[in-house]
Structure 1
C-alpha cells in the first residue's frame, strides 16, 4: 500500500473528540449524518451500510483503531461488481473548541466520474452539521442513484 492517499479531505467541526469518535463508530448515529440516510449495522469489527429500503452499499472492516484519534478501515463497495476494495483512514486532532477531522482514502481506483470526492464532501458536511446542530443531516439522497441509473 502506498503512503500517499489518492484522496484527502479535512474539515473543522465544533464538537468534542468523544462526540466525533462516537459518530464515526456508532452504527445507530450514522443514519443521522449520512447524506443518503443509509442505515448501518455493526457486527464486531465489520460495519455494513445500506440504503433504507434498498441494497447493501458498502462494507467497512476496522483494521486499526486508536480510540479518539485514529480509525483505519477497509472500504468495500457493494454497489457494483467492478469497484475494488480500498482503505480509509480517519484522523482526529483538536484545535481549541474544534476537532480537525482528516479523511485519507488509499487505493482508490475505478472512479472514472469522480463520485468518491462528491460522496466524501457530502458525508463530511452531513457529519459536521449533525454534530454542530444535533439535527439529522440527510440531503441529496437520490442524487447519486438517479445519475447512476441513467
Structure 2
C-alpha cells in the first residue's frame, strides 16, 4: 500500500468509524502483516479521537464541514494529521466525564501537537511501527 494516506471525511458522527477503518488498514499494510502492531493500534485510537473532536466541535453540528486525515510513512516512522477549517473551542477547565481526547492522543503517541487559528485546527502526531526507537523528532506540544 502507498506510504501516503489522504482521506476527506464529512464532519458527521460516522467520520470516526470510517477513519478507524481506513487508518487501520493502512497501518496494518505498513506493518507488513495481517495484524497491526501495538503502535498502529494506538495510532488508530489517536486518529479516532482527533476526527471525533473535529467532527463534533469544529463545525458546531454543520454536516457540510470537512475533516482531512493525512498520513505519511517513511520506514517505520508514521506521521498523521487531522485538520479542519472550523473553529477552535478551548477545552473546559473541568471536563466532567468527557474532554480527554487531547490527553489520550498525547498518551498514545510519541509526539503530538495542536495548531489552531482562524483557518482551522490541525492535530499532528507520530509513532514508530513495531516500537522501533527514535523515528519522531521534536517534543510533545499542546
TM normalised by structure 2 equals 0.29
Q: Which structure shows the bigger proportion of residues in strand conformation? A: 1
Q: Which structure shows the bigger proportion of residues in helix conformation? A: 2
TM normalised by structure 1 equals 0.28
